[in-house]
Structure formats: structure tokens, C-alpha cells
Structure 1
Amino acid sequence: MKICRFNDARLGVVKGESVFDVSEALDALRPASYPFPRHDVLIENLPLMRARLEELSARASPIALGSVRLLSPVANPGKIVAAPVNYTRHLEEVLAQKQLHHGNLINEIHKAGLFLKATSSLVGASSPVTLVHTDRRNDHEVELAVVIGQRCRNVHRDQALRHVAGYAIGLDITIRGPEERSLRKSPDSYTVLGPWLTTSDELTDPGQLDFSIHVDGELRQQANTSELILGVPELIEFASSFYTLEPGDIILTGTPQGVGPIVPGNRMLAAIQGIGSMEVAVQ
């Protein structure tokens, strides 16, 4: 199932080129009270809502996908966990280009570890990326995004995929410079998630997915998730050894070689096998 959020926070199921409004299913969620939960309650309850979503989508009228504004499929992630230099050829390109590393110590992921991005940086596919510090280089990075569905801590890689709600395309936009990654990658709109959430039952092997990004029609990055140094199960194991992972937490799995600059006026077209594609404007 492909689940989206659209327009004024409506809930939809995507089938082909149509969206079916299933917002009525949200009535099943218990109203939250202060202190509000630190996780996404929709993602937490997706397994319980599945039959209702199928029922509502079967009798809803189709809405043209191109006519709606797509929001991030996850509204309230507690954490955005990101994996640096998780493709060998990207590690090599960063080490070889001073404008990418700016003298920072660059280690492979086992030594570099993970980093966090601000949740305030998150937008959906229909929102533009609004560049800041345009006197410096801003780069695109396309990644497979993993959305956690069940709370887990110290989970073994063999059990890790059981805790995944689904997958989406992630864009990790980056300002180049000497500062810590979390600062340079966390401005508003610098994390794009979309175009929807493809549930894990539809995408059972996240380790064999072709993906790419074009900028104004030019192919910039193209790879397969089989090239990940730490695959999805290993990343969940690694992350959950440091943090409790909650429903709605997002793991950005890393970007391959070919990162490049973007400027206002560009249009990015990102695609991942089994998920779909999204076109994102730069301003």
C-alpha cells in the first residue's frame, strides 16, 4: 500500500495516478493530550488501520495525483537519523574533493557513526527546497529513507526489518562547509520525504533497489542499495544500539557518488525502484 498525506493534512491511498481520500480512518486514533507523544501515532497504528484504509479507498472517488499537494508522509517523526559516507564510491569522492570535505576528518561509517537532522527540516515532495547561505555550495543527496513502525532498542539485524513501517525517497540537502553535519543539513526544507510511504509488505527487500536523481534533466546520481556499506538491517541495529527507535522515526540510509550543486530555479527528479518518483523545485 502507498500512503500519502496531501493538501490540508488529508490522508490518502495512492493507486496508479490517483489518490483516494481515506481521512475518515483518522477518527480511530485516540486524541492526544499534553504531554504529547514523542512519536508519530499514525505510523504506530498503521497495522490496526490497514483493513479500514483498504475499505475506505475501495469506495472513495479518485483524485488526480497531479492535482494534490503532497506533504511528508510522516507528520511527526521524533528523530531523523542519517548515515554519512555509507557508499564506498561516495566516500572516495568526498576524500578526493576538498570542496566536499573542507578539511573535516572523513571516516567510513563504522568510525563516523550516525548523525541527527532537525525534524523542523522535514517537508514533502510538493514543497520547494529553499536554499540558505547561497554564497556557499548547496548539494543534493538522494537516499532510501526507512520509516520505523515499532519501538525497538538493541534490535539484532536479523529481526530489524520486522520493525519497519515502510520506505520513501529521501533528499538530504547539504550546505558545504567546515561545520558539523547536523548544522549544515538541518535548515528548513533540507530534508524532503516522499512522495508517499510504501509499506514494507510491498517492498520486502530494501537491499536491491535501483535509484537515481536528475537535476534539470541531467543524471547526477545513480546506484543500487546493494552497494550500501551498512544495509538497512545493519543500520537499524547500529542506530538502535544508541537510541530507542520510535514509530515514525526516519533513517536516511546514505547517498552514493555523484553529489552535486543545486541553485534556485533547478528541478530535481528523484526515483527509487518500488517506491516511485518525485519532482522537487529549488528556490
Structure 2
Amino acid sequence: MRLALFNKGRLGLVVGDDLVDVTDQVAGADTAGPVGALQRYVEAVADGETARFEAAGRPRIPLAEAVLEAPLPRPGKIIGAPVNYLDHKAEMEYTTSVADLGVFLKANSSVIGPGQDILLPYSDKRTDQEGELGVVIGRTASHVSTDEALDHVFGYTCVLDITVRSGEDRSTRKSFDTFTPLGPWIVTADEIPDPDALDLRCDVGGTTRQRTNTTDLIFGVRELIAYTSSVMTLHPGDVIATGTPAGVGPLSHGDRVVLDIEKVGRLEVGVDGSRATPYDQRPGHRGR
């Protein structure tokens, strides 16, 4: 299944080029609040409720006429995997990888959905795109093995991990509002039996910057879930961004960023630098 949020929080089943509104088939989905109706559904499935929807005979809305939103507008946790492709390690001249660095957290307030804009914070600091496969946790996971890891996945989505190249630590540089575009929907795990064999491409301004296959991950999805769950308990609706390949680069005002992942979907957002300010004017800056 492909499941989306649309038109101010409605839960939709994507059928071909249409959406079927299934909000009323999930208890509490219509009053889900900021976490969203899809979060409620992920939790319901984790609790053992029916995992399929009845779409027959229901009205359909063309996708082209719907306003898609981030499928998980406020995940419990967003977990990032730094330096999880060897080619990215080489391009950034890192001496370490995810195996040495572990994982990091991003603020859940950084999430935006399809068609929205990444807001560049600084006029004189480079801000890069990082296209990544996102893993949505479906069952509570603590110290799970690699063999058990995929049993704890609800589904997959596209994630853009936006990053300012400045001196702060990763969680700060990646947590600005709008720095985690997510979507356009979640594809349930049964549709993707092997997440470590997906083509990924990220275009900026009509030019392809990143192209890879997830087979090249240093920590594959299974190993990444197992490692992360050994550090922190993962809960239904948590999102793991699995890392980015080579080809990261600066974003400019007016750019369109398109992330396309095989079997998952196509996420497109804009870039707005009209409110960017000089780095040395940030709150708390003290001249040396």
C-alpha cells in the first residue's frame, strides 16, 4: 500500500493516480492532531489492528487535485546515519564512517511535505541537499538482531536531509525548520521485500547530482536498525534516514529539489533563500 496525508490531514490510500479517503477507517484518525492520521494508523497496526483498507465503492480524488502533506508531520524521532556510503566518505574527505560515528538525532519540527520550500537560514554559508531512503518503524524495537530487523519496519519513504556546512554539531546543522522534507507517502514494507536494492536519484535545478543504489550502503537497512535499536528504543512512527551518497551540493534560492527512489516515490520541494541572513548575525554570535 501507498499511504498519504492530504488536504489538511486526511488519510489517503493511493490507488493508481487517485487517492481514496480512508480516514474514517482508523479510530481517532480524524482527531489525530499534530502527529497526523498516518501516525495513528501505524500505532494501530503495531497494536494488532487490521492492516488493510476497504477502498471499493469509495470516492476517488485525482492525485493531481490533492494537496499532499508530510505523511508523518511530527515523528517521535528522526534518526540520521552519517557517512553511510563510501563514495560520500571519499567526497567529503572523512576519515570515519557510520561505523565510527554512530547515529544522530534531528528535530521533528524540521519536517515539511511535498511542494513546500526549504528555507535557507544563512546567506553566506553553504546549505546542501542530501537525498536518502527513509525507514518508518512499525513495531517497538530494542536490541533487535539483523535477522529480526525488517520485522519492525512499517514502510519506506523519501527523505531529504538538509545540512548547513557550518561549525555546529550535526543535530544543530540539520535541525532548522524545513530541513527534513518527507514524502510523498509511505510505501508499506510488504511492497519492498529488499530495501537494500533500490535505485536512488536526486536532482537539483534539473541536474542530477546524486545517483546510487542502496546496495552500496555501509550499514544496510537491517544492520542500521539493529545498531540503532541497541542505542535507543525505536517506537512506531520513528523515522531513520539511512544516509546519503556522493553528490551533495549547495542549494540556491529558486532551486527545485527532486528525490526519486525506486518503488518508493518522487519527492519534490522548492528552495527559498529570500529570508537568509549573514551567519555572524545569528542569535548568540559573539565576535572573536
Q: TM-score if structure 2 supplies the norm length? A: 0.88
Q: Does 1:48 align with 2:49?
A: yes
Q: How big is the shift at 1:134?
A: 2.7
Alignment partner, residue 67 of structure 1? 65
Letter in 1 for 2:160: L
Letter in 1 for 2:65: S
Structure 2: gaps spanning 5 or more residues: 273-288
Distance 1:63 1:207, change over 3 A: same
Q: 2:78 aligns with which of 77, 80, 86?
A: 80
Does structure 1 conserve the Cα–Cα contact (< 8 Å) formed by 2:28 and 2:40?
Answer: no
Distance 1:31 1:136, change over 3 A: closer
Query: What aligned pairs does 1:99-178 form with structure 2 within 5 A after superposition?
Result: 107-178=96-167
Q: 1:282 aligns with which of 241, 247, 271?
A: 271
Alignment partner, residue 18 of structure 1? 18
Does structure 1 conserve the Cα–Cα contact (< 8 Å) formed by 2:24 and 2:30?
Answer: no
Letter in 2 for 1:147: V
Work out the CA distance in 1 between the residues paired with 2:26 and 2:129. 34
Work out the CA distance in 1 between the residues paired with 2:163 and 2:100. 21
Q: How big is the shift at 1:50?
A: 2.5
Alignment partner, residue 191 of structure 1? 180
Q: How big is the shift at 1:243?
A: 0.3
Work out the CA distance in 2 between the residues paired with 1:246 and 1:30. 22
Task: Give the secondary structure class of the aligned counterpart of 2:49.
Answer: helix
Q: How big is the shift at 1:161?
A: 0.1
Alignment partner, residue 210 of structure 2? 221
- Residues 7-30 of structure 1 deviation map (CA, whole Å, 9 limit, x = unaligned): 210000112221111111133669
Work out the CA distance in 1 between the residues paired with 2:168 and 2:185. 32
Work out the CA distance in 2 between the residues paired with 1:122 and 1:107. 28
Task: Give the secondary structure class of the aligned counterpart of 2:56.
Answer: helix
Does structure 1 conserve the Cα–Cα contact (< 8 Å) formed by 2:73 and 2:112?
Answer: no
Does structure 1 conserve the Cα–Cα contact (< 8 Å) formed by 2:139 and 2:152?
Answer: yes
Distance 1:94 1:115, change over 3 A: same
Q: 2:92 aligns with which of 91, 94, 98?
A: 94
Task: Give the secondary structure class of the aligned counterpart of 1:260.
Answer: coil
Work out the CA distance in 2 between the residues paired with 1:118 and 1:148. 17
Aligned residues: 267
Does structure 2 conserve the Cα–Cα contact (< 8 Å) formed by 1:20 and 1:62?
Answer: yes
Identity fraction in percent = 44
Q: How big is the shift at 1:115?
A: 0.3
Q: How big is the shift at 1:43?
A: 1.1
Q: How big is the shift at 1:49?
A: 3.9
Work out the CA distance in 1 between the residues paired with 2:268 and 2:78. 22
Letter in 2 for 1:72: A
Letter in 2 for 1:90: H
Q: How big is the shift at 1:68?
A: 1.6
Task: Give the secondary structure class of the aligned counterpart of 1:74.
Answer: coil
Work out the CA distance in 2 between the residues paired with 1:164 and 1:175. 30
Task: Give the secondary structure class of the aligned counterpart of 2:8.
Answer: coil
Work out the CA distance in 2 between the residues paired with 1:30 and 1:138. 37
Q: TM-score if structure 1 supplies the norm length? A: 0.90
Letter in 2 for 1:74: L
Letter in 1 for 2:71: P
Query: Alpha carbon RMSD of aligned pairs, Å?
Result: 2.0
Does structure 2 conserve the Cα–Cα contact (< 8 Å) formed by 1:106 and 1:112?
Answer: no
Letter in 1 for 2:81: A
